[in-house]
Amino acid sequence: MIVIITGASKGIGKAIAKAFSQAGNVLLLCARNEQTLLETAEVLRTSCVGVEVQYMAADLSKKEQVISFASWCLGFGAPDVLVNNAGLFVPGKLIGSESEGMEQMMNINFYSAYYLCQQLVPAMKEKRQGHIFNVCSVAALKAYHDGGCYSISKFALDGLSKNLRYELMADGIKVTAVYPGAVLTDSWGDFDNQDLRIMEAEDISSMVLASSNLSIQAVVEEIIIRPQLGDL
């Protein structure tokens, strides 16, 4: 399968890339930092001998770069799996914050997925198969403390997921919204997780991979996964 993953150089995206590479798929990866992408690709090629890993650095908060990345991807053929994982979290309240924060998070957390789907879904529809995973957040399910702009952008991604599911079901294309709670990634800095308070990125990737392996007549519409002790 051809698997496209955005935000693939670290955290959840990197874990998803690892899971799909171990299953022997062709990976097309994207992130903003070319060096970290290169390092991720090398790790995957070394750990999974023979796996094809291609990558393109792009800032998906910019529409023209989303379109360029999509065009590059289509050069490898119609995708089988698209994982919209590119995202950004900047803390702050809605009132009193600069409007640029909202625009920035909407561009990367929502519009990157929307424009990428606009470009890639027609090829999936021609093949009458494919699976889109949109990595939302539990912040898409309820208001998020000190994260209004982030929460709203994830609510938008949730809405995109639900409408794509409705629109594409007759075309053989599956859509799954993923709602992770706290996951141990770089955004948590030096968080001490020795008491296992928050999840591992591999917890998310294993669920995404499993959902991609169902029969053609079954789809997991939503994956909600939280730490055992609940949200922080």
List the one residue out of 132, 129, 50 whose CA is nearest residue 85.
132
In CATH terms, the fold of domain 2-225 is: Rossmann fold (3.40.50)
The pLDDT of residue 176 is: 98
Per-residue pLDDT of the chain (232 residues; tens, 9 = 90+): 999 999 999 999 999 999 999 999 999 999 999 999 999 999 999 998 889 999 999 999 999 999 999 999 999 999 999 999 999 998 888 887 777 789 999 999 999 999 999 999 999 999 999 999 999 999 999 998 888 999 999 999 999 999 999 999 999 999 999 999 999 988 787 889 989 999 999 999 999 999 999 999 999 999 999 999 999 8
Q: Compute how many other C-beta atoms are within 10 angstroms of the C-beta atom of residue 188.
A: 14
First to last CA, the chain: 36
Please tell me the number of Cα atoms within 13 Å of 83 on its side-chain side. Answer: 31
Q: Tokens for 60? A: 């998906």
CA separation for the pair 197, 191 (Å, rounded):
10
The pLDDT of residue 99 is: 72
The pLDDT of residue 53 is: 97
CA separation for the pair 51, 132 (Å, rounded):
22
Q: Tokens for 161? A: 């997921």
CA separation for the pair 143, 43 (Å, rounded):
37
Please tell me the number of Cα atoms within 13 Å of 101 on its side-chain side. Answer: 17
pLDDT digits (tens, 9 = 90+) for 137-171: 999 999 988 889 999 999 999 999 999 999 999 99
Please tell me the number of Cα atoms within 13 Å of 93 on its side-chain side. Answer: 2
Going from N- to C-terminal start, the domains of the chain cover 2-225
